[in-house]
Structure 1
Amino acid sequence: MDELGPSRVRLSWRLTNVESGANNNDDDGGGRYYVATFDNDGTHRKVKACTLVVTIPTYAIGTSLDVVLPGSADLFGRGKSDNAKISGGVSYPPVASVTVAYPKSTFLDIDLADGSGNLRDLPGFGMVSTRSAGLRILATLVSSSLFPGRCPMEYNLLSCTIGGARDEAVGAMSEDDLVAVVDGDLRTMLLRPEAPHPKVLGLEIWPRTIPQYELGHSDTMTELKRMEDANDAGGLWVCGNYRTGVSLTACINFGYNQAKVVAGHLSSKRRG
């Protein structure tokens, strides 16, 4: 942030429109440029740029790119088919995170077969659940084992994730119901029947989370690439984890690689 300077990063600004124009100023790279209009609580600002890399989620793009990429609003706004799990746009299912704590004494008193210790101490990173087991929890991190000092020694602290593409009903559930589901699954997996109600230390619901690479996603990305290629101005890229991979590593690698693409584009414009 310090290297970029105070005027380089702006928070809470929403992209509302992008248009293109032409100039003959070699210092600006010559040729075409973009004017991006942003809104912040009723305050508008226009930013002129030779290149534009859009990395916001597709559901937030709206009609902002339709002038420079005709049809993009329709492409990203298409929903799933009612008869098949086919997405014309990009699906972002809801996910909830529930953090709970239980006394260690209420966990099953079992020595683990791999010799790592007793289950009550939860000696591990966490676990991933399967739908075939009849559980709704997607994954559980044992925060008290990963980060000592997060809770009293006589407690275990667990961060549970629930929801996703196969359980979108989570987005409409109340906080009490979410806690009840998580508590029920943990009782099935880890707890003794007489375990008390958990201490709920955190609960967050994200209505839209990781984009899904569903059936039809490849066609959507192919159409997006066609729109970019048809943009005569050039220098406009619509990117994001829905296109380059959802992992942290994929996002970081994309950032480095895309920076080289932008630099190369600007260099070629100046040489031209």
Structure 2
Amino acid sequence: MTRRIAIVGGGLSGLVAAHECSKLSDASITVFESAERFGGKISSSPLGASIVDDGADAFLLRTSAGSDLCQELGIGELRSPATHHAGVWANDAIQPMPDGLVLGVPARVEALRSSNILSEEGIERACAEPTLDVDPVLHDCSIGALVAERFGREVADRITAPLLGGIAAGNLYSMSLWATVPVLAAAARTPGAWSQNLSRSLPVANGTPSPAFGAPRGGMSALIERLIEALQARGVELLTGHPCAELPEADRVILTTPAWESARLLAASAPLAAALLGQIRHASMAFIGLAYPPGTATPDPTSSGFLVPRTANRSITAASWSSQKWPHLGQELIVRASIGHIDAPDALGGSDEDLVAQARADLADMAGLSATPVDARVRRYPRSFPQFDVGHLDRITELRHHLRVEAPTVSLCGMAVQGVGIPACIEQAQTAARQASTE
């Protein structure tokens, strides 16, 4: 009898898992997707005269998982953003982010002296970090607590939080150091000053820096399209509009759904695992796309956009000058603003028109964008951004133990498990597929 593998969830993780299974096994593979399209948070749609990514518009190149998959699918020629620097709202203006940061944590503290983000006291506090007598960090803690302890609260709130908090709409003072950013965790575990350990991750001086981000030349949707084409060519059954009321009947099941949905599916057969999944919080976020008329000046022609700290009490948490990052988008000024985070559960309560109005008001006041857009769109992602709270990796270890005992034929992967960013989701999905195909 032919072995059956069922994959629940047709976002990137589900499609990658199916792709890997189809290479490793001659099993009958079915992907169940509740929506009417595959891709999850990766999609694109018209905005003004361009086709613009709705969600993620690139992936990190620090690891090769994303670029390797694109290469395998025949879309290995990547484009990188034309602008690499971002700003942050501070002192009632958009200020350039200081040089020498590793994901918002200073690796060259002296570079903070030339920024206009911190107070004089904040600069002196941060610059004292290399002289602190500290021990290696051997236990998980919040990123916010550690940054504040080492560099001062101003660095945590004004620099690190806007950048890292925007990754998953999270709260820096709840985010797990171990689970969220491995490069920061590795440097904190190493004896010596955190900044000096992190400085080894910076590009070599006078060298040509490698691009930090990349995307297929056809946009992120090209990755989904090529995965679907490859799966169809291999005879994988792809079902949209098929929500699962319960775990599908199969020899192996891979769940790639949000934690709260996986918890529902596992409640009857794996209650202990389901309970742990149910503890993972999820934030909601919306991306508001605005197309301004051709000729509208970019507020800062040298940056890719700006971040907004929570302390600013604004609606938007970030704004990206998409047409400046990606010059192929054409003559209109394309801006994408983000609204929503874990501490603002009601931020998306208004209509699409309300969210557009909020974004336009903030952009006019903060960036001087007072022109009337020729087009606007809103993409909502309710309960879609899992929070890696302190202790997350320990909970995942316990969860996997319970799953092996209660439901040994079920595997988990996806953003909620250990997948901050697209490359991490790809790696997890490939690992889950190898387990399902060989065990």
Provide TM-score, normalisation by structure 2. 0.43
Question: Which of 284, 287, 291 is residue 97 of structure 1 equivalent to?
Answer: 287
* Contact map agreement 2:277 2:399 (CA 8 A) in 1: no
* Contact map agreement 2:270 2:402 (CA 8 A) in 1: yes
Distance 2:255 2:270 in 1: 12
Q: SS at 2:246's partner residue?
A: strand
What is the Cα deviation at residue 215 of structure 1? 4.6
Where structure 1 has 5 or more consecutive residues not aligned to the other structure, the ranges are: 19-35, 37-46, 78-88, 108-118, 266-272
Is structure 2 residue 428 aligned with structure 1 residue 249?
no
Deviations 1:151-205 (A, max 9, x none): 5x3x42201111111222222122222122211221232116xx24433421122
Paired position in structure 2 for 1:202: 377
Paired position in structure 2 for 1:139: 318
Higher strand proportion (structure 1 or 2): 1
Distance 2:345 2:264 in 1: 26
Paired position in structure 2 for 1:33: none
Distance 1:74 1:263 in 2: 27
Distance 1:256 1:218 in 2: 19
What RMSD over aligned residues (CA atoms) do the two structures have, in Å?
Answer: 2.8
Distance 2:269 2:429 in 1: 23
- Would the alpha carbon gap of residues 222 and 60 (structure 1) be closer, same or farther in structure 2, given more than 3 Å must change? same
Q: SS at 1:203's partner residue?
A: strand
Distance 1:3 1:54 in 2: 21
How do residues 58-137 of structure 1 correspond to structure 2 at under 5 angstroms? 58-77=259-278, 89-103=279-293, 120=299, 122-137=301-316
Question: Which of 239, 244, 250 is residue 48 of structure 1 equivalent to?
Answer: 250
What is the Cα deviation at residue 133 of structure 1? 3.2
53-62 or 63-72, which moves further after superposition?
63-72
Which letter does structure 2 place at the counterpart of 1:175?
D
Which letter does structure 1 place at the counterpart of 2:408?
G
What is the Cα deviation at residue 62 of structure 1? 5.0
* Contact map agreement 1:104 1:121 (CA 8 A) in 2: no
Where structure 2 has 5 or more consecutive residues not aligned to the other structure, the ranges are: 1-227
How do residues 218-237 of structure 1 correspond to structure 2 at under 5 angstroms? 218=393, 220-231=395-406, 234-237=408-411
Distance 2:246 2:319 in 1: 41
What is the Cα deviation at residue 132 of structure 1? 2.8
Question: Which of 11, 14, 25 is residue 240 of structure 2 equivalent to?
Answer: 11
Distance 2:309 2:250 in 1: 49
Q: SS at 2:319's partner residue?
A: strand
Is structure 2 residue 337 aligned with structure 1 residue 169?
no
Paired position in structure 1 for 2:92: none
What is the Cα deviation at residue 92 of structure 1? 1.6
Which letter does structure 1 place at the counterpart of 2:428?
F
Q: Could you say which structure has the larger radius of gyration?
A: 1
Distance 1:234 1:188 in 2: 55
Q: SS at 1:17's partner residue?
A: coil
* Contact map agreement 2:305 2:319 (CA 8 A) in 1: yes
Deviations 1:244-264 (A, max 9, x none): 222001011112223333344
Structure number with the bigger relative contact order (C-alpha 8 A, sep ≥ 6) is 2
* Contact map agreement 2:315 2:362 (CA 8 A) in 1: yes
Higher helix proportion (structure 1 or 2): 2
Count matched residues.
210
- Would the alpha carbon gap of residues 165 and 223 (structure 1) be closer, same or farther in structure 2, given more than 3 Å must change? same
* Contact map agreement 1:142 1:157 (CA 8 A) in 2: yes
Q: SS at 1:251's partner residue?
A: helix
What is the Cα deviation at residue 140 of structure 1? 1.7
Distance 1:204 1:2 in 2: 25
Distance 2:261 2:241 in 1: 13
Q: SS at 1:260's partner residue?
A: helix
* Contact map agreement 2:285 2:338 (CA 8 A) in 1: yes
Distance 1:171 1:76 in 2: 24
Distance 1:236 1:120 in 2: 50
Which letter does structure 2 place at the counterpart of 1:257?
T
* Contact map agreement 1:53 1:238 (CA 8 A) in 2: yes
